[in-house]
């Protein structure tokens, strides 16, 4: 039986003590309706850190993290017709939904209580091979190379979901709170739509990064922007920023919180923070329609991700750098035998 190399978690622990360990496992086989994919690169996401450290409780004895996979279709399971061997595909966080619950029936499959996720429920992309249901695989725009496409599959799609949740329209004045892997991709969509974009973030290299990305104005995280905001997105996991973000909204403005985690939100004053129909909304995963819309736009722009390329064996180091905010943009693991595309 053919084997594969992977970095896997058996016992979650602080990333500083390297909970991901190299393993040799049997190469997976595609089941009915699945594709077998040879992984080229896999992006490194904060959710992978939650899996490694146990903030997302393990669901099986051994799990391979990673849900920003770019790879090549090698084998088709029975009843597959959407892709062919040799096609380049992306595999993202949302792995499976039931298709039967009220949320799926309403087109809100991101809220499906029976959803399963790549790199948590089933093995992900810190490995040489992966499988995916073909109806959950994404064709990728040819204008974007592998290592730049990987972060689009989570950071990019979630940023786009936040844009939709905030109901941002072309030409709007938008505030981004926090500026990193997801925000710098969302900014490119907003600039493509000719929005005016203000970035509120910590000093130093975060502000310099926003400057490089041509934000219209850059200030400190708690600073009031120079004009009322039609909408805002909170990317930083800092609940204390909800108050200044809501205060910065114009009448009828919406603040969308993009992260999977947020520190406690201080108490809100109705008149000061919410009156005049200002709204606070959360973002939970994404639908496949979100992913397809975003990747189409990303290919048209084309979006450029800021990435740091690392080896599969350096997965612990990549997550450690992510945890301690030592990355600009996103880390991407390149698998052996796949040179830069």
User: Would you report the helix, strand and coil content of the chain in percent, each value rounded to 5?
Assistant: 30, 30, 45
Instruction: Give the number of other CB atoms < 10 A from CB of residue 122.
Output: 18
| Backbone phi and psi for residue 212, each to the nearest 5 degrees, phi listed first | -60, -30
State residue 338's pLDDT score: 57
Nearest to 329 by CA among 64, 54, 68: 68
Q: Which two tokens stand for residue 81?
A: 């017709």
- DSSP letter (8 states) at residue 112: -
Fold of 157-282: Rossmann fold (3.40.50)
pLDDT at 341 over 50: no
Weakest-pLDDT range from 42-56, 146-160, 234-248, 324-338? 324-338
pLDDT at 244 over 60: yes
State residue 1's pLDDT score: 63
Select the CATH number that applies to the domain covering 3-144+304-334 from these four: 3.40.50.1360, 3.90.180.10, 3.90.660.20, 3.40.190.10. Answer: 3.90.180.10
pLDDT at 283 over 80: yes
HEC profile of 55-93: CCCCCCCCECCCCCEEEEEEEECCCCCCCCCCCEEEECC
- Are 3-144+304-334 and 157-282 equal in CATH topology? no
- Distance of alpha carbon 333 from alpha carbon 310, whole angstroms: 5
State residue 261's pLDDT score: 83
Q: Across the chain, what does the average pLDDT equal?
A: 95
State residue 327's pLDDT score: 82
- Distance of alpha carbon 338 from alpha carbon 341, whole angstroms: 8
State residue 202's pLDDT score: 85
State residue 337's pLDDT score: 73
pLDDT at 164 over 90: yes
Element containing residue 299 per DSSP (H, E): helix 288-300
What residues does 89 pair with on adjacent strands? 71, 139
Burial class for 73, CB neighbours closer than 10 Å (0-12, 13-18, 19+) = buried
19-45 average pLDDT score: 97
| pLDDT band at residue 302 under the 50/70/90 scheme | very high
Dihedral sign for Cα 158, 133, 100, 296, please.
positive
Element containing residue 139 per DSSP (H, E): strand 137-139
Dihedral sign for Cα 214, 233, 103, 113, please.
positive
State residue 260's pLDDT score: 82
22-48 average pLDDT score: 97
State residue 41's pLDDT score: 98
Query: When comparing pLDDT for 46 and 275, which is higher?
Result: 275
pLDDT at 329 over 80: no
State residue 326's pLDDT score: 87
How do the domains of the chain map onto residue ranges?
3-144+304-334, 157-282
71-98 average pLDDT score: 97
- Distance of alpha carbon 192 from alpha carbon 302, whole angstroms: 10
35-54 average pLDDT score: 96
pLDDT at 340 over 60: no
Query: When comparing pLDDT for 324 and 329, which is higher?
Result: 324
Q: Which two tokens stand for residue 169?
A: 């329209």
Q: Percent of the chain scored above 70 by pLDDT?
A: 99
246-263 average pLDDT score: 95
């Amino acid at each position: 039986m053919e084997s594969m190399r992977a970095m896997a978690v058996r016992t979650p622990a602080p990333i500083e003590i390297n909970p991901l360990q190299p393993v040799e496992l049997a190469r997976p086989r595609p089941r009915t309706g699945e594709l077998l994919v040879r992984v080229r690169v896999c992006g490194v996401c904060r959710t992978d850190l939650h899996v490694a450290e146990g903030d997302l409780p393990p669901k099986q004895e051994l799990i391979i993290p990673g849900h920003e996979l770019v790879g090549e279709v090698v084998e088709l399971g029975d009843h597959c017709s959407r892709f062919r061997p040799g096609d380049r595909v992306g595999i993202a966080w949302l792995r499976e939904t039931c298709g039967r619950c009220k949320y799926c029936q309403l087109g809100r499959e991101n809220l499906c209580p029976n959803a399963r996720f790549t790199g948590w429920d089933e093995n992900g992309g810190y490995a040489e091979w992966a499988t995916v249901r073909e109806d959950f695989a994404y064709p990728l725009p040819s204008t974007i190379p592998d290592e730049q496409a990987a972060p689009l599959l989570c950071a990019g799609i979630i940023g786009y979901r936040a844009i939709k949740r905030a109901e941002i329209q072309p030409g709007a004045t938008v505030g981004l709170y926090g500026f990193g892997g997801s925000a710098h991709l969302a900014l490119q969509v907003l600039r493509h739509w000719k929005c005016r974009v203000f970035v509120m973030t910590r000093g130093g290299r975060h502000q310099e990064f926003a400057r490089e990305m041509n934000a219209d104005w850059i200030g400190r995280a708690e600073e009031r922007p120079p004009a009322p905001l039609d909408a805002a997105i909170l990317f930083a996991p800092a609940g204390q920023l909800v108050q200044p973000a809501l205060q910065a909204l114009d009448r009828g403005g919406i603040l969308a919180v993009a992260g999977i985690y947020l520190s406690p939100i201080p108490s809100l004053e109705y008149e000061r923070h919410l009156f005049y129909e200002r709204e606070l909304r959360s973002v939970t995963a994404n639908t496949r329609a979100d992913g397809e819309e975003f990747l189409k736009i990303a290919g048209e722009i084309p979006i450029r991700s800021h990435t740091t390329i690392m080896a599969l064996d350096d997965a612990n180091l990549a997550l450690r750098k992510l945890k301690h905010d030592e990355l600009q943009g996103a880390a991407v693991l390149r698998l052996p035998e796949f040179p830069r595309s």
